Amino acid sequence: MSDNWLNKWNDRYSKKEFAYGKEPNNFLKEKLQNINTGTILFGAEGEGRNAVFASKKGWNVHAFDISMEGKNKALEIAKENNVSINYEIGLLPDLKYENEQFDAIALIYAHFPPKIRSEYHKILNNKLKKGGIVILEAFGKNHLDYQRNNPKIGGPSDLDSLFSTDEIKLDFENYEIIELIEKEIELNEGLYHNGKGSVIRFLGRKKQ
């Protein structure tokens, strides 16, 4: 992981404002309501809006990111909401999560660098229990057109960092696909996700 990548996120999360707001992502919010609570892991969790929401709903919440500034903000809003989250800083291969530790994994705009993304997805797969759920929302390959029309929508500006449904199927091949689609949505998340964009939404259950 390059220093530039780390510096980008530390700089973004060091500001007083919350980059993506304090409210949870709509797709995550909708899907968590229909899943029995248990232990959940949030990848690339940033400032903690989604992890805090899950903790308020009774989940045992774990999260990781490379940005200490992000963790600091996450612990801030956790304290505001009188909940706790277990937040680790570091690269996923170095973190000591156990195999089949989690009932659910949430990847909300977890745009890991393309060179390591599939590796990270495979590692996360191993950490999920059989029958466990993955909830993923991220910008899709069609998003570049939206970004050119409206830079305020945010997201990666290189095609390789964006998702396709075929890539999701490859990385999560041992899953029952409950939902997998690329669609246009309207985002209103803090400073950096505003306007129409094209996202991949994936809800999958790890096969027994």
Closest CA to 164 of 200, 204, 196, 198: 200
Return the H-helix or E-strand segment holding 6.
Answer: helix 3-13
pLDDT digits (tens, 9 = 90+) for 77-99: 999 999 999 999 999 999 999 99
Number of domains in the chain: 1
Which domain, by its residues, includes 168? 3-206
3-state secondary structure of 142: coil
The residues pairing with 176 across neighbouring beta strands, listed in sequence order, are: 205
1 pLDDT exceeds 60?
no
pLDDT digits (tens, 9 = 90+) for 124-157: 999 999 999 999 999 999 999 999 999 999 999 9
Q: Angle formed by the axes of helices 3-13 and 68-80, to 10°?
A: 30
The mean pLDDT value for 24-44 works out to: 97
- Give the CATH number of the domain where residue 172 resides: 3.40.50.150
Whole-model pTM: value is 0.97
Calculate what percentage of the chain has a pLDDT beyond 90: 96
Name the maximum alpha-carbon separation found in the chain.
44
User: Which of the 8 DSSP states describes residue 35?
Assistant: S
DSSP string, 47-79: T-HHHHHHHHTT-EEEEEES-HHHHHHHHHHHH
